[in-house]
Amino acid sequence: MDPQLQTISEKALEELERIQDRPGLDAWRQLYLGRKGVLAEQLRRVGQLAPAARPAYGREVHALQDRLESAWEAREVLLRRKELAAQARQECVDITLPGRQRRLGAYHPITQVLREMIETFYALGFQVWDGPEVELDRYNFELLNMPAHHPARAMHDTFYLDTPELRAGPSGAPAPGALLLRTHTSPNQIRIMPQVGLPLRVVVPGRVYRYEQVDPSHNWMFYQVEGFVVDRGITLADLKGTITAVLRRVFGRQVRLRFRCDYFPYVEPGVDTAVGCVLCQGAGCRLCGGTGWLEVMPAGMIHPQVLRNCGIDPDRYSGFAFGAGPDRIAAIRWQIEDIRHLYQNDLRFLQQFRAALQRPRAKEGAA
């Protein structure tokens, strides 16, 4: 071999043996095997040699090029194996260790009550609808037979939105076009009745908002399930039967129920439905306010004027409506003395109900 090519070969192989990483390997290849590398320069020198010496020198350069190419490939394989071994050591998993158990979640107590109530209403032939949480004063109050002087329409009892209609009514009171956060889900009666043909069996679950003092049994935001039925021949007996079926599904057949007359502007007559306090067993406590009973589902026969406001003839049709509070029902069912705990998102509190929420309940009294 030509002495100069022998020197290049020894130097190149020695440098290649010392390379320990990919960048160095790439730089070595560019230096010796690149288009402007050392061997390319030697090939360009062939034209400067005597014609008789050119073929032999060219063959030696190409042979050296093949030798260095093979050496580079072998070094690349070796470095790749070292990289994979290092990566395997870094990412190894000790399969002898016990596996990490996945923690399964559970329904929030309010969600569980909502699901059970809706399942029962489905079984009773109800449809489930949704409605806006930002509502018109006209739908939330006026068309539900709540006059302008009703205390609930005062700005210190309701969350009104700051719009031009807020003080456009008589004496600066909110006008019917004022916007507010709905105080109940009952406005959906006004929205749904004119849209859907009779007969109607509808429930509307959702959040409602009231500007009131927060205490163990009240919150400024809570859930409500509005339900109403309109058909020929609907009576108070139908109302009591529906409420009884739903509450027995949620609390069990042993639940104590109390129906008594009450006043609500949008029903006539009105009914206050209460269940016996499971926390004090009727003796009186913070949750029930010392009465031994907890109101869970105010209801009544839909007022004739409300039917007229929806374009329904009250002489031909009648109906009933009710509003249930799932958060209060959840507090009663699991003996939670303060419903504010349900909204604080404290996992230490909520995890207490994991087993109770995951355990299937007997389907009793649903229909």
Would you state the pLDDT for residue 304? 94
CA gap 35, 13 in Å, rounded: 19
DSSP string for residues in 121-179: HHHTT-EE----SEEEHHHHTGGGT--TT-GGGSTTTS-B---GGGG-SGGGPPPTT-E
Residues 6+ apart with CB under 8 A from 131: 182, 185, 187, 188, 191, 192, 204, 206
CA gap 317, 307 in Å, rounded: 8
Phi-psi region of 116 (alpha: psi -120 to 50; beta: other; left: phi over 0): alpha
Q: Assign a CATH topology to domain 109-133+182-358.
A: BirA Bifunctional Protein; domain 2 (3.30.930)
Give the pTM.
0.65
Residue-wise over 63-76: b if at least 16 C-beta within 10 A, else e?
ebbeebeebbeebe
Structure tokens at 339: 């419903």
Mean per-residue pLDDT pooled into runs of 10, the chain (367 residues):
79 86 86 82 76 79 85 89 86 78 83 91 93 93 82 75 84 82 93 90 94 84 94 95 92 88 90 84 76 88 94 95 90 84 89 64 37
Would you state the pLDDT for residue 43? 78
Would you state the pLDDT for residue 365? 33
In terms of Cα–Cα distance, which of 366, 334, 362 is closest to 106?
334
Residues 6+ apart with CB under 8 A from 199: 229, 230, 231, 232
CB atoms within 10 A of CB 34: 13
Would you state the pLDDT for residue 351? 85
Task: For the chain, give every domain's residue range.
Answer: 3-90, 109-133+182-358
Backbone angles phi, psi at 208, to 5 degrees: -130, 165
Would you state the pLDDT for residue 281? 76
Strands 127-128 and 200-209, sheet pairing: parallel
Q: Which of helix, strand or coil describes residue 38?
A: helix
Would you state the pLDDT for residue 287? 66
In terms of Cα–Cα distance, which of 194, 214, 188, 176 is closest to 129?
188
- Written as one letter, the residue type at 65 is Q
Structure tokens at 360: 């299937």
Backbone angles phi, psi at 242, to 5 degrees: -65, -45
Would you state the pLDDT for residue 362? 41
Would you state the pLDDT for residue 357? 54
Query: Any idea which residue has 């990483």 for tokens?
Result: 21
